[in-house]
């Protein structure tokens, strides 16, 4: 009897799996598929979801595109890379098998580097939205990106720290993480290695109190921690509980309402560099806020409020860059789209976008924002350029 | 800065981490003592306790949310045993272990589905979240009270095991499963009580842990669960005092290793960073290997009478 029950269960599961496979859409309308290669879970899940929000909002504004005289419906195809380097290639493969013309993402450089070969082998162009590590594009011929790079961001942050009187920096990165490790190295290079204390924490660390104590005991006067928002929230709590007593600096990942929420009510001084300052384009700001407030899922993906993250604005621009590319190529064939990318130019809400010969965006400025711990919003500090 | 002033903050956070590991480790060690089963789902029960607190505190006042969270966690532990382990009582031990791994993944994936993979902020529990200064080190009150709460709970538990009827039944079952059954002990009740106690301690542990480190994700139970398991093996699996002492040793060592560079530099022993902090987790497991090589039963593993 038991054997039959078990056999029946197995058959049910197989049937369910088969039904899941065959549920593809079969509309006669012509569609162009854009792959969304973003983390929706794991360390960078929150950031990935905010980046997707920008694309989804852009899709509601521009749901169709003219390609070669015909109107195509745009479809976003999602793959969750789970913020994990070993899951990235299979997520990339899912998108390629799904027949996408161009891929957007990812939030977090490590997964983009890991998936580069997969995209390259299939000759599918990928446009990085906020992955700032140089290796994303330098090691891959199909990867382009619309954001600035870490050597630039690291220098800007180091200059900002020096200009604010910092003499000794405590740098904290996650072990094996290309983004935080890379950014720390560029910061240390610009700040001076002799004046930096560099430490790494292992994955799944939740106790950051010892790192805060280390920074205090080493006599540092700036705390540089360009880590994922999840670790950031823990660091902020510990820094606040142990009265850190020095300003905290971080890169673009910290431009998130996770940080604002964690820091609200504390007496910390948190500064970050980022891509977009709210208020630069009021029309876009108001439009997306209205959309986020009208859509319950979007709102919860944005952390439960309508505070705008720079990655969302970048996601919005990335969507239009992808549309421009397929328009210019005149076809949905990924190989053709890849050919037109080097000469593509587009001006979005975050500024003018054009690519250099490596595939990086030509950008020379970053915004510095400071967390206002009483009101829980970002205050604009300065627009920084590399010297 | 004196050596004491440099080291004290590390010891403080080490004791606190150790206390939290201890509360989880007891759950592992008790279940092992009675069923000879490594309950891999225990770390995830701890995570679910954290998550349910997040959701409960959003709709209920704290004085209701805390007891409801504890009841839910205990119910979860009880249900897991009844559904996933009890039907396999006569099956080979390996099957039960696989079932435990299955439950662990089920809980993680359910949590992933419900939270959408996002970090949930743990509610702040007043008073224990307050900032205090002790011997010149600033920290939160929960850090200081964790070890005391842990030790108090362990003393109560040891008293229950040694001086009550159910405790005696537990000792009997852990000593000889079949004979105990023949003597009229209701095995299933004893096992259920074991799971209930383990889950209750995991619920308390999750409250202390997440108040200290306030982000809950589906994999939150992984590392603390693993460390607590190491602590249980370290102290001699099956022994409650062993699990507690093992947990404190691991917590303190881990914390000191993370700060070793800074401590040595402040004392002028080394001039440059070596990078010990990177190896804090590796160290925990190296310690485990060394102890097991010299004492295969763990620190307190020989005395069979201690087993529960």
Span A311-319, average pLDDT: 94
Domain A150-274+367-385 has CATH 3.30.300.30: no
Q: How far apart are CA A197 and CA B223, in angstroms?
A: 26
| pLDDT for residue A1 | 60
- Average predicted confidence (pLDDT) for chain A: 88
DSSP state of B305: G
- Is B138's CB within 8 Å of A241's CB? yes
B118 and A46 within 8 Å at the Cβ level: the answer is yes
Residue among B9, B209, B278 minimizing CB distance to A213: B9
Instruction: Please check whether residue A42 is in contact with residue A84, taking contact to mean a CB–CB distance below 8 angstroms.
Output: yes
- C-alpha to C-alpha distance for B49 and A237, rounded to whole angstroms: 21
CA quadruple A224, A228, A231, A234: dihedral sign:
positive
Min Cα–Cα distance to chain B from A227, Å: 14
Best of B95, B119, B212 to substitute, by most chain A Cβ atoms within 10 angstroms, is B119
| Cβ <8 Å between A217 and B262 | yes
**Domain locations in chain A as residue ranges:** 31-148+281-355, 150-274+367-385
Number of H helices, E strands in chain A: 14, 15
pLDDT of residue A26: 47
Residues of B in contact with A208 (CB under 8 A): 213
User: Nearest chain A Cα to B283, which residue?
Assistant: A202
pLDDT band (50, 70, 90) for residue A268: very high
Question: B103: buried, middle or exposed (CB in 10 Å: 19+, 13-18, 0-12)?
Answer: buried
Confidence of residue A22 (pLDDT cuts 50, 70, 90): very low
Domains of chain B: 3-306 (1.10.3470)
Nearest CA in chain A to B276: A199
- What pLDDT does A386 receive? 66
Q: Are A31-148+281-355 and A150-274+367-385 in the same CATH fold?
A: yes
Chain B residues in contact with A41 (beta carbon < 8 A): 112, 116-118, 218
Comparing CA positions, the residue from B252, B208, B234 lying closest to residue B50 is: B208
Cα(B75)–Cα(A272) distance, rounded to whole angstroms?
45
Tens digits of residue pLDDT in A92-137: 999 999 999 999 989 989 999 999 999 999 999 999 999 999 999 9
Q: Which of B212, B215, B258 sits opposite A210 (nearest CB)?
A: B258
CB contact under 8 A, B138 and A243: yes
pLDDT confidence tier of residue A18, bands split at 50, 70 and 90: low
pLDDT at A23: 45
Of A46, A199, A214, the CB nearest to B119: A46
pLDDT score at A294: 92
Q: What is the pLDDT of residue A24?
A: 44
User: CB-based contact (8 Å) between B2 and chain A?
Assistant: no
8-state DSSP, B181:
H
Contacts of B121 in chain A (CB under 8 A): 233, 261-262
What is the secondary structure of A71-116 as a DSSP string? Answer: EEEEEEEEEE-TT-TTTHHHHHHHHHHTT-SEEE--SSHHHHHHHH
A210/B116 Cβ within 8 A: no
Instruction: Return the sign of the alpha-carbon dihedral for residues A285, A287, A290, A291.
Output: negative
The verdict on domain A31-148+281-355 having CATH code 3.90.105.10 is no
d(CA A154, CA B222): 33
In this prediction, residue B273 carries a pLDDT of 75
pTM: 0.82
Torsion of CA A215, A218, A221, A225, to 10 degrees: -30
pLDDT (tens digit per residue) in A58-100: 999 999 999 888 899 999 999 999 888 999 999 999 999 999 9
Q: Do B258 and A200 touch (CB under 8 A)?
A: no
| Percent helix, strand and coil across chain A, each to the nearest 5 | 45, 20, 35
How does residue A385 score in pLDDT terms, banded at 50, 70 and 90? confident
Residue B7 CB-half CA count within 13 A: 12
Q: How confident is the model at residue A262 (pLDDT cuts 50, 70, 90)?
A: confident
Tokens for A47? 């950031």
Quickly list H helices, chain B.
3-35, 42-59, 62-80, 93-115, 141-163, 165-175, 177-182, 187-212, 222-234, 240-266, 280-294
Chain A contact set for B119 (CB, 8 A): 45-46, 229-230, 233, 258
Name the stretches of chain B with pLDDT < 50.
306
| pLDDT for the residue numbered B303 | 52
What's the pLDDT score for residue B304?
52
Tell me if A204 and B222 make a contact (CB, 8 A cut-off).
yes
3-state secondary structure of A196: strand
B306 to chain A, closest Cα gap in Å: 32
Query: Any residues with CB less than 8 A from the CB of A45 and at least 6 apart, and which?
Result: A39, A83, B116, B117, B118, B119
The Cα–Cα gap between A206 and B280 comes to 13
Cα–Cα distance for residue pair A126/B108, rounded to 1 Å: 32
Instruction: Decide if pLDDT at A194 tops 60.
Output: yes
């Amino acid at each position: 009897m038991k054997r039959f029950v078990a056999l029946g269960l197995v058959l049910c599961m197989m049937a369910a799996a088969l039904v899941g496979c065959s549920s593809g859409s079969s509309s006669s309308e012509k569609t162009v598929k854009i792959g969304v290669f973003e983390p929706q879970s794991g360390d960078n899940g929150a950031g990935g979801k905010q980046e997707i929000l920008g694309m989804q909002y852009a899709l509601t504004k521009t749901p169709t595109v003219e390609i070669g005289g015909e109107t195509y419906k745009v479809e976003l195809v999602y793959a969750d890379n789970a913020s994990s380097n070993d899951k990235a290639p299979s997520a990339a493969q899912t998108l390629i098998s799904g027949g996408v013309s161009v891929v957007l993402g990812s939030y977090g450089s490590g997964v983009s580097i890991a998936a580069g070969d997969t995209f390259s082998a299939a000759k599918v162009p990928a446009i990085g939205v906020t992955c700032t590590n140089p290796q994303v594009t330098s090691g891959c011929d199909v990867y382009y990106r619309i954001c600035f790079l870490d050597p630039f961001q690291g220098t800007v942050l180091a200059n900002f720290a020096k200009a604010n009187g910092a003499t000794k920096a405590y740098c904290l990165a996650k072990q094996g993480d290309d983004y935080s490790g890379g950014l720390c190295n560029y910061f240390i290079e610009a700040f001076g290695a002799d004046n930096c204390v560099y430490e790494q924490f292992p994955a799944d660390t939740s106790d950051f109190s010892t790192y805060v104590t280390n920074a205090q005991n080493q006599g540092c006067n700036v705390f540089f921690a360009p880590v994922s928002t999840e670790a950031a929230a823990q660091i902020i709590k510990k820094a606040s509980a142990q009265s850190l007593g020095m300003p905290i600096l971080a890169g673009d990942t910290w431009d998130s309402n996770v940080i604002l929420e964690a820091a609200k009510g504390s007496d910390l001084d948190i500064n970050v560099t980022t891509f977009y300052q709210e208020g630069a384009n009021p029309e876009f700001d108001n439009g997306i806020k209205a959309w986020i407030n009208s859509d319950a899922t979007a709102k919860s993906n944005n952390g439960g409020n309508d505070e705008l993250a720079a990655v969302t604005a970048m996601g919005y621009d990335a969507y239009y860059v992808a549309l421009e590319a397929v328009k210019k190529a005149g076809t949905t064939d990924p190989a053709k789209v890849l050919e037109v990318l080097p000469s593509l130019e587009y001006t979005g809400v975050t500024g003018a976008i054009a690519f250099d010969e490596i595939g990086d965006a030509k950008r020379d400025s970053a915004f510095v924002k400071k967390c206002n711990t009483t009101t829980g919003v970002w205050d604009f500090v300065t627009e920084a350029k590399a010297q | 800065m004196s050596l004491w002033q440099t080291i004290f903050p590390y010891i403080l956070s080490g004791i606190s981490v150790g206390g939290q590991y201890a509360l989880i480790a007891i759950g592992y060690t008790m279940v092992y003592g009675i069923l000879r089963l490594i309950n891999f789902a225990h770390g995830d029960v701890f995570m679910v306790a954290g998550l349910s607190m997040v959701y409960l505190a959003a709709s209920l006042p704290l004085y209701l949310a805390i007891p409801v969270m504890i009841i839910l966690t205990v119910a979860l532990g009880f249900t897991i045993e009844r559904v996933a382990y009890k039907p396999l009582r006569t099956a080979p031990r390996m099957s039960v272990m696989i079932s435990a791994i299955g439950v662990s993944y089920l809980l993680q994936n359910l949590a992933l589905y419900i939270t959408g993979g996002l970090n949930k902020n743990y509610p702040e529990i007043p008073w224990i979240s307050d900032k205090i200064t002790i011997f010149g080190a600033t920290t939160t009150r929960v850090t200081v009270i964790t070890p005391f709460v842990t030790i108090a709970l362990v003393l109560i538990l040891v008293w229950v095991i040694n001086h009550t009827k159910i405790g005696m039944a537990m000792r009997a079952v852990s000593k000889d499963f079949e004979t105990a059954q023949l003597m009229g002990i209701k095995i299933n009740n004893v096992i259920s009580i074991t799971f209930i106690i383990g889950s209750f301690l995991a619920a308390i542990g999750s409250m202390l842990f997440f108040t200290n480190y306030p982000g809950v994700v589906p994999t939150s139970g992984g590392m603390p669960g693993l460390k607590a398991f190491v602590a249980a093996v370290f102290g001699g699996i099956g022994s409650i005092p062993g699990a507690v002492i093992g947990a404190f040793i691991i917590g303190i060592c881990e914390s000191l290793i993370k700060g070793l560079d800074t401590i040595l530099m402040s004392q002028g022993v080394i001039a440059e960073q070596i990078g010990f902090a990177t190896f804090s987790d590796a160290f925990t497991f190296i310690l485990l290997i060394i102890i097991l090589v010299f004492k295969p039963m763990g620190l307190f593993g020989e005395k069979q009478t201690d087993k529960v």
